[in-house]
Amino acid sequence: MLQDIDNQIYNLIQKESKRQIEGIELIASENYVSKAVLEAMGSILTNKYSEGYSGKRYYRGNEYIDQIEDIAIERAKELFKVDHVNVQPYSGSPANFAVHLAFLNPGDKTMGMALDAGGHLTHGFKVSVSGKYFDSVSYGVDENGYINYDEVRKLALDHKPKLIWAGFSAYSRIIDWKEFRKIADEVNAILVADIAHVAGLIVAGEYPSPVPYADIVTTTTHKTLRGPRGAMIMCRKPYAEAIDKAVFPGSQGGPHNHTTAAIAVALKEAGTEEFKQYSKQVVLNAKKLSEELIKKGYYIVSGGTDNHLMLVDTIKSVKLSGKEVSNALEKANITLNKNTVPNDSRKPWDPSGVRIGTPAITSRGMKESDMEKIAYFINTVLENIENNSLIEKIKGEVKDFTKRFPVPGIN
């Protein structure tokens, strides 16, 4: 049908499908969803307007939408062991903005991890609304690439933020949620844990949960959780009303019901034994890939990883910027993203490093032995960055390599 109605878009979708099948996806924030999630995402639920919450809609005809949203909420509550869940945020950034909106007035203080240390734009970076509308303070990492909790405490005591964000976009170690709780209590701050990157690892028991310590927990649903591009806000009961009002009507209109259904499906899948084994393999693969790159002389920030990602200082490793590295690897069908590194002297659009993650390649069934091959591909390209014929040869090897690993939802 699409091919008949709009052949141009149909062809581009087919080309993107081919790109995904023939490439090695190392972007830490990307993954592949199942056919069941895709089916829910492409359903007629997109036709329905549902402003408000279950049982309290502004539009009629939401009997079944209410049931779908209720199911998604209950599954999230069970998986994460939380009191209250809002599944309506359109994505991670709107979810984090809603938290700021719920508890801060413009100019109030918020504190989060610095962008170049591994934090996220929405944790107070100056180009984000979280840094423009609110008075943001940032903490970093020490010379070894680890969070220095004494420094976090000192900043909190000096600035007295109303919100403290614990969480990351490019930090490869375990966060001490309990220590963040202590710091928040010392300054009477609300503690928010952003688990967008590790939500799937948390429900599988491969990463510690912040739920016993944080007041609010935000997460996307499309990274290690293997769901659609959406988000959730989870919290303790006393904060539920403020969170719900900040999402709707505070910052959003009607929820994307097809996404809500797909989130529910992904949450059901995340409760299976297969998902637990998958998450375990994600971490094993990340550790192995990190080890292989270190053997080849690459500088990994903090010296390794405890989760699904690693941050590579490419200036120190191969005297190439993150932009140069990501561009070169894409020519060989290997995709990753350029990324700042701690105390980066370069600009964010041409930084000193790249971020590498293993969720997507693990979804395709790759194991530790395959990480050796991927490290070989990466190193060969970067050692021969001006040798186009050799890079083309590696591209062919990558295509042959990926034939062994079907892409969920596509192959």
| Whole-number pLDDT of residue 411 | 78
Q: Find the angle CA(202)-CA(174)-CA(305) to the nearest 5 degrees.
A: 100
- Catalytic annotation on 74? no
Q: Find the angle CA(59)-CA(65)-CA(69) to the nearest 5 degrees.
A: 120
User: What would the two tokens of residue 233 be?
Assistant: 């806000």
Three-state SS for 98?
helix
Omega cis (within 30) before 249: yes
Specify the pairing of strand 135-139 against strand 231-235.
unpaired
What is this structure's pTM? 0.96
| Whole-number pLDDT of residue 126 | 85
Of the candidates 110, 122, 220, 260, the residue annotated as catalytic is 220
Would you state the CATH architecture of domain 283-402? Alpha-Beta Complex (3.90)
Of the candidates 10, 22, 49, 346, the residue annotated as catalytic is 49
Contact by Cβ (8 Å): 147, 141: yes
Of the candidates 48, 109, 173, 223, the residue annotated as catalytic is 223
Contact by Cβ (8 Å): 309, 28: yes
The conformational region for residue 390 under phi > 0 = left, psi -120 to 50 = alpha, else beta, is: alpha
- Catalytic annotation on 70? no
Rg (CA), the chain: 21
- Domains of the chain, residue spans: 38-270, 283-402
- Catalytic annotation on 355? no
Beta strands in 322-411, from DSSP E residues, in sequence order: 334-335, 337-339, 353-357
Give me the DSSP letters along 276-330.
HHHHHHHHHHHHHHHHHHHHTT-EEGGGS-SSSEEEEEHHHHHS--HHHHHHHHH
Q: What is the pLDDT along the chain (411 residues), one digit of tens a residue?
A: 999 999 999 999 999 999 999 999 999 999 999 999 999 999 999 999 999 999 999 999 999 999 999 999 999 999 999 999 999 999 999 999 999 999 999 999 999 999 899 999 899 888 898 989 999 999 999 999 999 999 999 999 999 999 999 999 999 999 999 999 999 999 999 999 999 999 999 999 999 999 999 999 999 999 999 999 999 999 999 999 999 999 999 999 999 999 999 999 999 999 999 999 999 999 999 999 999 999 999 999 999 999 999 999 999 999 999 999 999 999 999 999 999 999 999 998 999 999 999 999 999 999 999 999 999 999 999 999 999 999 999 999 999 999 999 999 997
What sign results for the dihedral spanned by CA atoms 280, 281, 282, 284?
Answer: positive
Of the candidates 69, 194, 215, 292, the residue annotated as catalytic is 194
- Catalytic annotation on 223? yes
Specify the pairing of strand 135-139 against strand 109-113.
parallel
CATH 3.40.640.10 is right for the domain spanning 38-270 = yes
User: Measured between alpha carbons, how far is 328 from 382 in angstroms, rounded to an integer?
Assistant: 7
